[in-house]
Structure 1
Amino acid sequence: MTKIDSFRGRAVLMLSHVAGMVDMVALPLWVGTLVQHYKFDPQQAGGLVTLFLMAVALTSVTLAPRFDRLPRRWMATLGYVLTAVAFFAASKQVAFPILAVLHFVAGVGVGCGLTFTHGVIGRSSNPHRLFALVQFAVGVFGILFFGAVPKIIAAHGGHALFLVFFVLMVIAVVASALFFPPGEARSVDRQAHHSTSKIPGAAWLAIVTVVLLTLNQAMMFSYVERIGVDHGFGQERANMVLIAVGFANLFPAVIAAALQKKVSPRTVGMAAPILQGALALTITQSQNFGVYAAATSVYVFVMIFSHVFLFGLIARLDPSGRAVASTPAMVMAGSAIGPFLSGTLVVAFGYSAIGYAVAAIGLVALLCVSRIKLVASPADDPMKHAVLL
């Protein structure tokens, strides 16, 4: 039996997390490919990705409360099998209605796989550190992805993107079927107690904050590649910036792990929406390539860094794993709305509207975090828990 905190357990969870969070890396290329190669307008392209992300969120909401009662290995495995089949089928289609159905089906599979992956991570001995590790794996994958996939698409066409997704899901299927850890509890008695208790109000504020931060992330990141091209920087330089994003994303999870006991999750949560707003306004309005490239390169950094702290906080507040099992719903609820909303704003008002929308949503996230007060926990000292102000 594979244990969560073993090398094999961490490796499988990393693969499962990377496969499930492929949108975090691929979103700009995904939308760009649908616009450039499939000739969809920004609203249609954003709508397809929104269907995928919406399905992830709905599936996670449905399955997370049942995390303790379902076979985790096989649920994760079957989820990625479904996604692999859907993406392979998508590589053979060009019609919008069929692609819409296949995007939704793929999202159902990812929602299933990610729900059980994140729930098991939440039951590890140190959820903050393990989540930082799997987020680091996403950064490594981002470098490989943007170093190779744009060239593959240029050589073979837009359908190649879905074949790349298919291969990634097949790898996740094999790894999960063989070695996915069962997710033993950190403390059986404590887990049983928390499984019957309500999720604390402070945790709900942290959950809403994650949703809003990921909404901002998806709104902006969906169109950074198109913004670069349409601002006259050229496709090649826009792709170079995306590669730089991948390198930049290697560091936030590592730094977050190192600062676990030195920085308050509340401080991180308050800084994140402010930085998102400032960077989004810079990206959408700057006509200078250097400024655009610098702001784009660190934009995802903010989301990854802050999410590690918020994930660790939510996992400590609800040791049963139910709350963190719904992480896909938190992330994808925001991400599902983002591409469609930003596409609609672009069609109606232009790219600058995305920047203003991100800033406004960031103010709401800031309000949520400001209502959380951290207090010492007698059970887990020196860790901290959160309560409402």
Structure 2
Amino acid sequence: MSQPLSTTRAPAAATAAASVPASAFAERADTERWPARLALMLAHCAGMLDLVALPVWVGTLVSAYQLDPQQAGGLATLFLVGAVFSSLAVAPRLHRLPGRLVAALGFGLAALAFAGVSQTTDYATMAVLHALAGVTSAAALSCTHGTIARSANPHRLFAFVGIALGVFAVLFFAAVPPLLAQLGGALLFQVFAGVMAVACVATALAFPQRVRGQVPVAGQGSPAAVPRVALGRAVWLGALGVSCMAVVQAMMFSFLERIGMDRGFGLQAVNAVLVALGLVNLLPAGLAALLQRRWLAERVVLCGPLAQAVLVLVITQSQQFAPYAAAASVFAAVMIFTHTFAFGLLARLDPSGRALAATPAMMMAGAALGPVLGGTLVKWAGYESLAVAAVLTAACAVACFSQARQRTSAHPAQPA
């Protein structure tokens, strides 16, 4: 099947390349340089910190700060709500904003906010600083994802930053939980501040210059001019499907560590599971890139929510360590793998790249609901209630992605 695919797209790529001025290629070359790629990798790791750290984040707020699950989930939700509104404000204005300045300033302010959290135990102050960190880091992340979406090969570059996030997860889970047990919960927010500070310096020095007026053809190495048109129904439903998966991800991930501890598996065993989770997260982005031409994105995004729901059932219902550990270690990988294909699917549905520039909003809109929803369910109905919510949300995600699939399949590529 790979031969007809390449035959079909080659003339389109050649036509696009012929119609784009040389200056457009010169502007895009910056994202192909490794200093620029490394800056985007570090920015992605900092901006997607919640995807890695959420179980330790909420667990630390419960164990070290003596908050109940609802209060702890509420702080994480404030961070994510701030991120959603920030991304929705920044994404439509990317062409008018200096990307390097916004990214560096956003991460710098987020570093200061998290440093402030580490110095207080007052809930109201922590809430304000969590919201501020979300607003500022998401502004930086929107510029990061907008740049990735307008690179010469967005699927490949998104896979690179996904691999970087996996490496970051390994380092985080290997180092931070043991240190928290020794040095106290404030260390977590000092680590968050350090991560944001590193991203601030990296983006200030090497963030790629903004691409003006051109967007890449999805899945191609050549950019092409694309008229500005309204986003279609399939794009909105595809984005909503990603948000539904983010709800399940955040809801379950927030209490992954607490479930293991409350069921008596022990701190060392639970930390080992988190390290294993980080190691597994090294694989899905690269694997998704390798399978880009072999697996249909429309099918992958239908299977992803179902896999999520099954894993939540195993994690929440199992009283034994082995099933819990096996399911927990691959849980985040399902989201990373499926989101990479969803990124490619949305690139085809929206060649202008505007939908992908709002990736932080579509991810964090769902993730913002997850911690507080999960905390409320756990508080009133126990961990088992998370499985019911996950199954219902997965059904909504499948329904949304099925409509995106119908839209893309309604206009198949014509052979040359």
The match for 2:93 is: 66
The amino acid that maps onto 2:381 is: F
- 2:39 equivalent to 1:7: no
Unmatched runs of 5 consecutive residues or more in structure 1: 383-389
Q: CA deviation at 1:9?
A: 1.6
CA distance in 1, matches of 2:151, 2:336: 19
CA distance in 2, matches of 1:275, 1:177: 39
The amino acid that maps onto 2:385 is: A
Greater gyration radius: 2
The amino acid that maps onto 2:51 is: M
Find the residue that maps to 1:145 and give its secondary structure. helix
CA distance in 2, matches of 1:207, 1:185: 24
CA distance in 1, matches of 2:140, 2:204: 11
Q: CA deviation at 1:6?
A: 1.6
CA distance in 2, matches of 1:377, 1:4: 31
The match for 1:24 is: 51
Q: CA deviation at 1:233?
A: 0.7
The match for 1:369 is: 401
Q: CA deviation at 1:54?
A: 0.6
Find the residue that maps to 1:181 and give its secondary structure. coil
The amino acid that maps onto 1:274 is: L
CA distance in 2, matches of 1:196, 1:258: 31
Residues 125, 318 of structure 1: alpha-carbon distance in 2 compared, 3 angstrom cutoff: same
The match for 1:214 is: 246
- 2:343 equivalent to 1:311: yes
- 2:273 equivalent to 1:257: no
CA distance in 2, matches of 1:81, 1:305: 30
The amino acid that maps onto 1:219 is: M
The match for 1:183 is: 210
The amino acid that maps onto 2:246 is: T
Q: CA deviation at 1:355?
A: 1.0
The match for 2:24 is: none
CA RMSD in angstroms comes to: 1.9
1:338 to 370, 373, 377: 370
The match for 2:71 is: 44
Find the residue that maps to 2:264 and give its secondary structure. coil
Deviates more, 1:229-238 or 1:46-55: 229-238
CA distance in 2, matches of 1:345, 1:235: 24
Q: CA deviation at 1:195?
A: 6.1
Q: How does 1:148-187 map to 2 (within 5 A)?
A: 148-184=175-211, 187=214
Deviations 1:290-311 (A, max 9, x none): 0000000111111000000111
- 2:117 equivalent to 1:85: no
Q: CA deviation at 1:320?
A: 3.1
Query: Is this contact kept in 1: 2:280–2:329, CA < 8 A?
Result: yes
CA distance in 2, matches of 1:307, 1:42: 28
Q: How does 1:55-134 map to 2 (within 5 A)?
A: 55-134=82-161
CA distance in 2, matches of 1:159, 1:189: 44
Unmatched runs of 5 consecutive residues or more in structure 2: 1-26, 218-222
Find the residue that maps to 1:273 and give its secondary structure. helix
Deviations 1:274-325 (A, max 9, x none): 1111110110010110000000011111100000011122123333332111
Q: CA deviation at 1:183?
A: 3.3
Deviations 1:342-376 (A, max 9, x none): 00000110000001110110011111112222346
- TM-score normalised to the size of structure 2? 0.88
- 2:231 equivalent to 1:204: no
- TM-score normalised to the size of structure 1? 0.94
Q: CA deviation at 1:199?
A: 1.4
The amino acid that maps onto 1:19 is: A
Query: Is this contact kept in 2: 1:216–1:358, CA < 8 A?
Result: yes
The amino acid that maps onto 2:159 is: A
Query: Is this contact kept in 1: 2:215–2:226, CA < 8 A?
Result: no
Q: CA deviation at 1:193?
A: 6.0
The match for 1:276 is: 308
Query: Is this contact kept in 2: 1:54–1:333, CA < 8 A?
Result: yes
- 2:165 equivalent to 1:138: yes
CA distance in 1, matches of 2:343, 2:134: 22
CA distance in 1, matches of 2:215, 2:68: 52
Deviations 1:160-195 (A, max 9, x none): 001101111111111111110023259469889646
The match for 2:329 is: 297
The match for 2:20 is: none
Q: CA deviation at 1:231?
A: 1.1
CA distance in 2, matches of 1:178, 1:217: 33
Q: CA deviation at 1:129?
A: 1.4
Q: CA deviation at 1:196?
A: 2.6
Query: Is this contact kept in 1: 2:156–2:289, CA < 8 A?
Result: yes
Find the residue that maps to 2:30 and give its secondary structure. coil
Deviations 1:192-228 (A, max 9, x none): 9646311122111110110000110001010010001
CA distance in 2, matches of 1:44, 1:208: 27
Residues 44, 362 of structure 1: alpha-carbon distance in 2 compared, 3 angstrom cutoff: same
Paired residues, what number?
Answer: 381
The match for 2:261 is: 229
CA distance in 1, matches of 2:38, 2:413: 33
